[in-house]
Structure 1
Amino acid sequence: MRRHLVIATIVATVVSLMPVAAKASPASPVSPASPANQAGPAGPGELSETRRLPDRRTVVSGDRMYQVGAADGSYPATGWHIRGEMGGFWTPPVKLLDGIWFAVDGRWLTASRFTAGPGYTTTVVGDGIERTDVSPDGQRAALVRLRFRGPARTVTLTAQAHSELLAAYPWGWTTPNAGDTNRPDTGAFDGRNLLFRDGGYTAVVGSSERPDGHRLGAGMRGPQEPPVVCPATDPTPPRCDDGPYGKGTGGELTYTVDIPRTGRDIWFAVAGGDAGVRPAYAELATALRDPAKALRDKAAARKAIAGRTRVEIPGDPLLARSVEWSKQNLADSVQQARDLDVFASHEGRENPPPVGTVRSATWFGAGWPDYPWIFATDGEYTAFAAAAAGQFETAKDHLRALRDISDLVNARSGKVVHEVTPDGQVYFGANADAGNTDESAKFPSAVALLWRWSGDDRFRDEMYDFSVRAMRHVLSLDADGDGWPEGLGNVERPGMAEEKLDVAVYTIRGLRDLADLANGRGDRDTERWATAQAQSRLQRFEREWWFPAGISYADSYGTFQRHWTGLTPMETGLATKEHALPALEQRERPCYTGEFGLFHTGTGPTSAPAGNPGPACDPVVSTVPSERSTFSLNTAVMAVAEGNYGRLDAQRRYTTGNARVQLDPAVWELPGAMPEIAPSPDFVANIDQSFLTRSSVLQAWGAYGVLWPVVHQYLGVDPDLGRGKVSIVPDGRVGVTGRDIRLGNGSADVEVSRSGRAVKVAVDVRVRVEVTIGAVLPAGASVDRVTLDGRPVRYSTVDTNRGREIHVVTTGGRHVLQVVTGTAR
């Protein structure tokens, strides 16, 4: 987790949060009948908040434009990559504005209620005045609607905007840094709109109405004028309005607006980019041509996303709601940029000429506001959530972007880059960098996953050559010839040996998945090679990596430090039950798990100077301190690991942890958004930190720990569409219904119920495949009777990590399997 080292060590105090009540929202601007804070057939509904609005970050995203501000309608200086500049309006790869502010009759509009909806936000900003923000997909523009309700009156409306035209890279500490490259902006009025320029970078701000007047000036920040400027180094004031590298300028537009008794909508747009003035004006014109339709289209797109993977979990409604919002979180994370000029900065120290250009890239942004970029780690974990949500296209595009950029910057070595900004800068992951080896090993697994779920042979074939080269690259890193590749994994902490556990685990899985891809392609030589390589390592794995004194696996070869990556053998299902079960039980103890999930590094004896701040679960003396920060990814990996071994009761603690930081008003910062790090003993809640130091308010990877357990483990959906097969073998202990689970170009419904000793699994598979229907038996249960569609049927029993499973093979369509169990003698 290279990019999180700074965040995770900022603060080390115990979190204490006061409960925050969820309030009713105004009528939805998209679906007037949709009640606040409730899910409905059209999607997750809305979530509202009234407390501490100035302290809450918000994100409103489209695939080519997003904005980050505060829930009260202000735009505080935010983020740390470019200190204080990661908020405002961005169209990758450039920032346009620090913010836009509105006043009515000389009074600045400040929100008293904030509502998050699927793809938009709405705030109550005055008596009878609402503001709705949306970023239409496919446009380098953001829209703001001011809705004035009656009575009839005439008002003076003022809009102020402050520009900050600068690139996503360089950052505050790189060579050169943002202060070296950022140039002063210029402002102008063209008779209707504000125009800001910095070379080819352009921002335009305008409305559907013609203004009465305008002003230009250095400030124009609404109620944040005069600004408090963040210093370049700490300490900082509690809140500031501009970063130390800011060189923007401002403008104001004023309007006389007649409001009829029936009310009136006034639309504003922010548009621009890095291609000059004419394209910026074209984007503005497109956005304002029919803004109401743009909002409706956004709502329709999000309704379509909500329509896939609809679940009901009567015993866990919080988790079911988290599924709904996690699908939207993934959609919120989609980003696109064009003409990426690719170069390796080697952690910001170099600025060489580009080695080539990627014409277009689409990806799941990792996290807002500081990480909305292309990451291999994030994308490879997020692919599992995307598959379960039916969002195949973006997951595929993410892998294409990684391949295209990696092949350019790494000269087709097969090494996967780690971190890329939307202008093409590769911060880490070039051939000359130390890692991350695990990302190359995970690449074939992500390809195989999407091939199995989509049945897309063309995608498999497109990604096959790079997948082969990725695994050959990984195996080439075994300098000492012991079979375990060297290089960095997910955890990058001092004291680790050269061979990391997660690298070893993902190498075995990657080889197996490459063999599967090769089999589908008919490449027998590669299939035999990859299978043999995987098998030779798997035969030695338990003997060489199990660390009995720690009741876990070694974090790196021969070394035990209690990092979360000790879970990866269970997350992938490679661990034997003999070791998996005690290792999982160990991680459930307070040494490793807190209120909201798994710590990054557990507590126990240590030689680190600060000593051990928590309980000890083993006698091993580690060389590193604990890190009791609960990342949503760590918790997700623990949830998946528990589910792989049928431990659904224990798993619920972790699915609930991620769901609560997303949906519990006592915890959330942005309602409905899963953050990067939960409140933890060593990490103060984001809302209680400075805007310059917080972790991501919206992080894509945590959805892995919600969508994958529900769809793959509860419902048991496991497609292999590349071979015309799908397996649906749910855990019969959980009553759950899933509808429109996407399988290739079709879908499936699954309903699991239990009555006494009978488990019923009803499916409707709407794709031409061979279907295996089954159920996981309760521990110790025997089988009395198995029927399919009311008739006795031949079945098989299969012992898996989840337990003993009943399998019945049939065809697609509607079927009902019933398994009546007894007690084993």
Structure 2
Amino acid sequence: MKYFFLFLAIMLVSCQADNPSDFYTQVNKLEKIEGKAEYSDSPFLSAGKKLYVVGHQDGLFPDLGWHVEGEMGGVWLHPIKLLDGYHGEIDNGVDQVCLTKASRFFNYPVGSEQLFELNKLGLTVSQFHFVPQNEKGLIIAYQFENKREEENTVQFTFNASIDLRPVWLADSLGIKDGSDEGEWQKSNDLFLAKDNKNNWFTALGGKSFKPSDSENSCKVKRKGLGFDQAMSRSIKLKGKQKKTIYFVVSGSDQDEKSAVKTHKYLSKNAEQLLQDKISHYRDIQRNNKLVTKNEQFDQMYRWLKYNSEWLMQDVVGIGTGLTAGSPDYPWWFGTDNGYAVQGLLASGMHEQALQTIDLVLKLSEKVNGDSGRIMHEASTNGVVFNPGNLNTTPKFISMLWKAFAWTGDKQLLNYYDVVQKGVKWIESQDIDGNGYPDGAGMMEIHGLDSEMIDVISYQYEMYLAAANFAKVKDDKVLVDEYLVKAKDLKAKINSEWWVDEFNSYADFRSTKVQALKLMEEAIVRADSIDKPWSVQELQTKLDTLKKMEIKETSPFVVHHNWIVNTPMEVGAAEQAKAEKALQAAENYRNRFGLFVTGIDRDEQQEKASKWKSFSYVGAVMTLPTGVQAIAEAKYGNPDRALEYLKMLQQSFSYALPGSMYEVSPDFGMMTQAWNIYAVAVPVVEEFFGIQPKAWKNEILIKPNLPTEWTDVKLERIRIGDNLIDISAKRVDNVLEFRVSQLYNWKMIFEFPNAKSVIYDGNKIKGGKVELYDRLHNLKITF
């Protein structure tokens, strides 16, 4: 009898492995966003922390990207690539169909799906890309649905384009790519490929799949030293039956054993791994959850958190951190993360923020020693490409303080020496002794190596952050020193960087001769790429500049680049000047946001780019638009700030459903890390006015809600180990708040323009009240 039950158990396991009942049941319950047919030949991203897939929404895997030309798509297990791509092929003996022209594409937080309507074969096939969160492998789930009443038998082939190759900058480590070779391992029931010069492996297979010699009718010519491998099996379907099978890809940059072990684990645990990943993303979704009457806005906010998680990358021996963007920037940036990590903090993703900080600081020390300089860009093999731009260090130090304020993690105080040294390093870059660091910041203007406004703005912000660190460390001398420097620099920003003629802060400071030359070059560039509006504006500025009497180094507004708005972003601008500058900025926007003007794309990228005529003159980047939203809110204009965020909303799901590109609406990186800064920071820190002090169990809340937000909520706001819920309702000039918290922390509410506040039944004049209990109701009259 026991043998009967053993046989039954084996049969059940076998049946479940070939026809799992729960995988697509789980998938079908998830939120998803459908792609647009006109963007079917543009990229998608499915990612876990250790591995990701980049292909096209229609099912193809063309050569993609410019950073490593043509190689940025496929299956990547950093610091190596496993596959250039893959596709399925179905043969019923009469017709052959390749799964490369999807009828529909759907994006999910946890994966992505291509749907193929194969009428000739009487089938509907779903191809679902699923990367388990913490595994070095990929599960591709195929659901076959027989549309016919009669039995339908087909041969299914999985065609893999194997290309084991190293990541960017591997040559600087002496790593050379070798030819790939492989063999069928009958004992493990999988195909194993290896690079013949390195211990790089990829394992391919699925239940009942065997190597196939069938001709790949959809073969694509590729670069590299890899080869194509086909694996096939039979699929038999009863009338109207659905059946699900898996194909698993795993890899290792260390040894064969771990690639095989991962393959076996994924093959046996697909449903549980999917359940685990769904649970992980639900935690991301419910923390710092925004609820407004604009469901599409809420969706954008929610999915930008998912986008951020897609870009988290864990590389053995290097570390874990937020990468800049996909597909061309799967590297770690100190500069980008000076912004992006602030968005992670504001949106409740504190673990991801802390991991990224630790990694960037480790890479910075590796290349810059103990100088305090923060590196700009590093490959996932640990090679630092750029040791740091001038804006990188001050912005990162400001972010570091935000991290301590939001998390209260005392380990961050161990970086106080980095803060002090970073301040000294920035100050040491003042080559000409005029009080300003010399060199490029976020924008590199051709032919100019002078002072840039973003560097100066972020230096001011850095002094305030450094003073806060010094205060917590009870370093009174440095508190005073940093605050004095911040005050002096703020005064200079408003006197030496303001240009009355253009109602704007300057892009840069230089001599008149330099400025004229740069303006003439900018006119030529704008004309060469057919930007008549830019030519006209620059010509007007050139004519004005020629008439001006300028003898020494002075501030100039040549490009009116977005960096001229950074004094408002950091709160350094005087109110009157801010109002003029913010108004002037409205001349540099379209329906997608704020223009980036005057800067051409890097020459290497220009050559390799699909959009060869593209230039940043007149482009709309998401970061500048977010900076402008923060600036507007900070200077009392939440309605205009919301306008900018709604411009970003028009870019959300434009080309890749559930994602926002780097340049609106559909250029650059299809998923970009700093987008979470552009949206979460103005919403959480400016509109809801959350100013955390987690290290002292205290929260300052200064709401500044847009007029149309008459009924909003922000739930499970993570501050240290506390959780805060805030809901607000507005009727005419009365605003009602309901606030609850997990622990009895001190909460200070400030409503500067309030006539009176009623809190928990107590009425006071003015607009400031301190609360300590777990639940409070406030009624504010303006």
Regarding TM over 0.5, the answer is yes
Does structure 1 conserve the Cα–Cα contact (< 8 Å) formed by 2:98 and 2:218?
no
Distance 2:199 2:557 in 1: 50
Q: Cα distance 1:472–1:697, how it changes in 2: closer, same or farther (>3 A)? A: same
Within the alignment, does 1:472 sit opposite 2:424 as a pair? yes
Within the alignment, does 1:446 sit opposite 2:399 as a pair? yes
Does structure 1 conserve the Cα–Cα contact (< 8 Å) formed by 2:204 and 2:249?
yes
Distance 2:32 2:220 in 1: 35
Alpha-carbon distance, 1:653 to partner = 2.7
Larger radius of gyration: 2
Does structure 2 conserve the Cα–Cα contact (< 8 Å) formed by 1:212 and 1:256?
no
Within the alignment, does 1:197 sit opposite 2:194 as a pair? yes
- The root-mean-square deviation of aligned C-alpha atoms, in Å, is 2.3
Does structure 2 conserve the Cα–Cα contact (< 8 Å) formed by 1:497 and 1:559?
no
Aligned twin of 1:343:
none
Distance 1:768 1:400 in 2: 31
Aligned twin of 1:721:
694
Letter in structure 1 aligned against 2:635: Y
Aligned twin of 2:589:
593
- 1:83 aligned residue (69, 79, 86): 69
**1:720-759 residue pairs with structure 2 within 5 A?**
720-732=693-705, 733=707, 734-735=709-710, 736-759=712-735
Distance 2:267 2:70 in 1: 30
Distance 1:547 1:117 in 2: 48
Distance 1:768 1:669 in 2: 45
Distance 2:468 2:39 in 1: 51
Q: Cα distance 1:511–1:146, how it changes in 2: closer, same or farther (>3 A)? A: same
Alpha-carbon distance, 1:602 to partner = 6.9
Within the alignment, does 1:300 sit opposite 2:279 as a pair? yes
**Segment of structure 1 superposing worse, 114-123 or 755-764:** 755-764
Alpha-carbon distance, 1:56 to partner = 1.9
Letter in structure 1 aligned against 2:82: L
Alpha-carbon distance, 1:756 to partner = 2.3
Letter in structure 1 aligned against 2:125: I
Aligned twin of 1:166:
165
Distance 2:25 2:749 in 1: 40
Does structure 2 conserve the Cα–Cα contact (< 8 Å) formed by 1:144 and 1:267?
yes
**Segment of structure 1 superposing worse, 538-547 or 443-452:** 538-547
Distance 1:513 1:521 in 2: 12
Aligned twin of 1:320:
298
Letter in structure 1 aligned against 2:777: V
Within the alignment, does 1:381 sit opposite 2:333 as a pair? no
Aligned twin of 1:489:
441
Aligned twin of 1:286:
265
Letter in structure 1 aligned against 2:381: D
Note the alpha carbon deviations across 1:626-665, whole angstroms, 9 max, x for none. 81111111111111111111212222232012121113xx
Task: Name the SS for the 1:767 alignment partner.
Answer: coil
Distance 1:768 1:483 in 2: 46
Alpha-carbon distance, 1:212 to partner = 4.2
Aligned twin of 1:644:
634
Task: Name the SS for the 2:200 alignment partner.
Answer: strand
Within the alignment, does 1:135 sit opposite 2:131 as a pair? yes
Letter in structure 1 aligned against 2:475: D
**1:81-480 residue pairs with structure 2 within 5 A?**
81-105=67-91, 106-110=96-100, 111-126=102-117, 127-150=123-146, 153-170=152-169, 181-191=176-186, 192-198=189-195, 199-215=197-213, 222=216, 224-227=218-221, 242-243=222-223, 246-259=224-237, 262-314=241-293, 316-339=294-317, 360-429=318-387, 435-458=388-411, 460-480=412-432
User: Number of paired residues?
Assistant: 680
Task: Name the SS for the 1:365 alignment partner.
Answer: strand
Q: Cα distance 1:308–1:176, how it changes in 2: closer, same or farther (>3 A)? A: closer
Distance 2:57 2:28 in 1: 24
Task: Name the SS for the 1:398 alignment partner.
Answer: helix
Aligned twin of 1:353:
none
Distance 2:173 2:281 in 1: 40
Q: Cα distance 1:548–1:819, how it changes in 2: closer, same or farther (>3 A)? A: same
Q: Cα distance 1:544–1:273, how it changes in 2: closer, same or farther (>3 A)? A: same
Task: Name the SS for the 1:740 alignment partner.
Answer: strand
Alpha-carbon distance, 1:53 to partner = 5.3
Within the alignment, does 1:818 sit opposite 2:766 as a pair? no
Does structure 2 conserve the Cα–Cα contact (< 8 Å) formed by 1:496 and 1:555?
no
Q: Cα distance 1:535–1:427, how it changes in 2: closer, same or farther (>3 A)? A: same
Letter in structure 2 aligned against 1:188: E
Does structure 2 conserve the Cα–Cα contact (< 8 Å) formed by 1:786 and 1:818?
yes
Aligned twin of 1:712:
685
Within the alignment, does 1:498 sit opposite 2:450 as a pair? yes
Task: Name the SS for the 2:744 alignment partner.
Answer: strand
Aligned twin of 2:483:
531
Does structure 2 conserve the Cα–Cα contact (< 8 Å) formed by 1:187 and 1:250?
no
Task: Name the SS for the 2:64 alignment partner.
Answer: coil
Within the alignment, does 1:772 sit opposite 2:748 as a pair? yes
Aligned twin of 1:803:
none
Letter in structure 1 aligned against 2:693: D
Distance 1:461 1:449 in 2: 12
**Segment of structure 1 superposing worse, 103-112 or 652-661:** 103-112
Aligned twin of 1:38:
none
Aligned twin of 1:662:
652
Note the alpha carbon deviations across 1:289-312, whole angstroms, 9 max, x for none. 211111111111111111112212
Q: Cα distance 1:793–1:638, how it changes in 2: closer, same or farther (>3 A)? A: same
TM-score, normalised to structure 1, is 0.79
Note the alpha carbon deviations across 1:356-375, whole angstroms, 9 max, x for none. xxxx3111111111001101
Distance 1:98 1:595 in 2: 37
Within the alignment, does 1:789 sit opposite 2:754 as a pair? no
**1:3-22 residue pairs with structure 2 within 5 A?**
none
Alpha-carbon distance, 1:731 to partner = 2.1
Distance 2:490 2:305 in 1: 35
Aligned twin of 1:615:
none
Distance 1:402 1:87 in 2: 25
Distance 2:569 2:230 in 1: 54
Distance 2:173 2:65 in 1: 19
Note the alpha carbon deviations across 1:512-534, whole angstroms, 9 max, x for none. 10110121122233323322322
Alpha-carbon distance, 1:188 to partner = 2.0
Does structure 2 conserve the Cα–Cα contact (< 8 Å) formed by 1:53 and 1:112?
no
Letter in structure 2 aligned against 1:118: P
Task: Name the SS for the 1:283 alignment partner.
Answer: helix
Distance 1:427 1:469 in 2: 22
Alpha-carbon distance, 1:593 to partner = 0.7
Q: Cα distance 1:793–1:504, how it changes in 2: closer, same or farther (>3 A)? A: same
Distance 1:815 1:385 in 2: 27
Task: Name the SS for the 1:107 alignment partner.
Answer: strand
Task: Name the SS for the 2:433 alignment partner.
Answer: coil
Task: Name the SS for the 1:627 alignment partner.
Answer: coil
Alpha-carbon distance, 1:400 to partner = 1.2
Note the alpha carbon deviations across 1:380-401, whole angstroms, 9 max, x for none. 1011210111111111121211
Alpha-carbon distance, 1:139 to partner = 1.1
Does structure 1 conserve the Cα–Cα contact (< 8 Å) formed by 2:111 and 2:129?
yes
Structure 2: runs of 5+ lacking an equivalent: 1-21, 118-122, 510-554, 600-614
**1:546-557 residue pairs with structure 2 within 5 A?**
546-557=498-509
Does structure 2 conserve the Cα–Cα contact (< 8 Å) formed by 1:596 and 1:678?
yes
Instruction: Judging by fraction of residues, say which structure has more helix.
Output: 2
Does structure 2 conserve the Cα–Cα contact (< 8 Å) formed by 1:30 and 1:296?
no
